[in-house]
Amino acid sequence: MKLKDKVALVTGAASGIGKATAINFAREGAAVLCADVNAPGAEAVARQIADTGGQAASVKADVSAEADVQEMVAQTVARWGRLDVLYNNAGIGFGMPVTQLPVEEWDRLMGINLRGVYLGCKHAIPEMLKNGGGAIVSTASDAGLRGSAYLSAYCASKGGVVLLTKSLAVEWAGQGIRINCVCPGVIQTPILDPFIAQMQQLTGTSVEDQWRRMGSMHPLGRVGQPEEVAKAVTFLASDEASFITGVALPVDGGIEAGSPPQRTPFGAEQPVTG
């Protein structure tokens, strides 16, 4: 019970990594407020947690809107009397050449992916200070640690999350608040469904082939699952990580460490050189 008697708020909780983390938080003993712009989805996750004996509630929230963020924090505190853990997970993604990227889409992505993290921290920290501290974890990305063609806006937003995390970790460490982020590689979540569908149309290959192709980019040879990221987030949110702050933790099957080895015609593995 890593989070026994803790109160947690999870954004983007209706699906993917957010859903898996909200469920894992509850399994580890936390009361969880599930926040998402998809209100029925967030409610379904909260109901799933409650049906298995956990404590959970839900709220509709657009993390780019300050009033919504204030309200989700206020509802958490009103229901359970405190806030110990915030997981800033809500995010969107798309890819296109920067010359074709509408300003409105740049602003929308930044509003959710980066402004949403800023607003979450801004309004959660004062509540955490009332109880002597807390833990904040945010979802950055492997794309926040290195550049990627056609993902300029996404990379910029997630790189911003990484340095916002480090700056706030230094700023609030002395007052008992630890702030970290996770940097997932390719994770099998609904955010990638449009990309998979587009690649199917372009290549004529199956969904399974697309996931295998993306998995081959990782030294572990596969894509990740939401539950694997959830476990890393839970660790960083728990007292087991009491001496860890300001970290951007890759949860990426080794992709940040380097390229997978290539195979010769004889089957022996050779490192990529040159």
Catalytic residues: 154
Query: What CA–CA distance (Å, rounded) separates 90 from 12?
Result: 4
How many angstroms separate the CA atoms of 59 and 43, rounded? Answer: 7
Query: Residue 86: which H helix or E strand, with range?
Result: strand 85-88
* Residue 263, both tokens: 């195979």
Residue type, 272: V
CB 21, CB 228: distance < 8 Å: no
Q: Which residues pair with 204 in a beta bridge?
A: none
Task: Report whether 153 contacts 188 (CB < 8 A).
Answer: no
Asked whether the CA dihedral 109, 113, 115, 116 is positive or negative, the reply is: positive
Q: What sign has the CA pseudo-torsion 138, 220, 194, 22?
A: negative
Residues 6+ apart with CB under 8 A from 194: 94
Query: Regarding beta strands 269-270 and 262-263, do their DSSP bridges make them parallel or antiparallel, or are they unpaired?
Result: antiparallel
Rounded-to-integer distance, Cα 78 and Cα 161, Å: 28
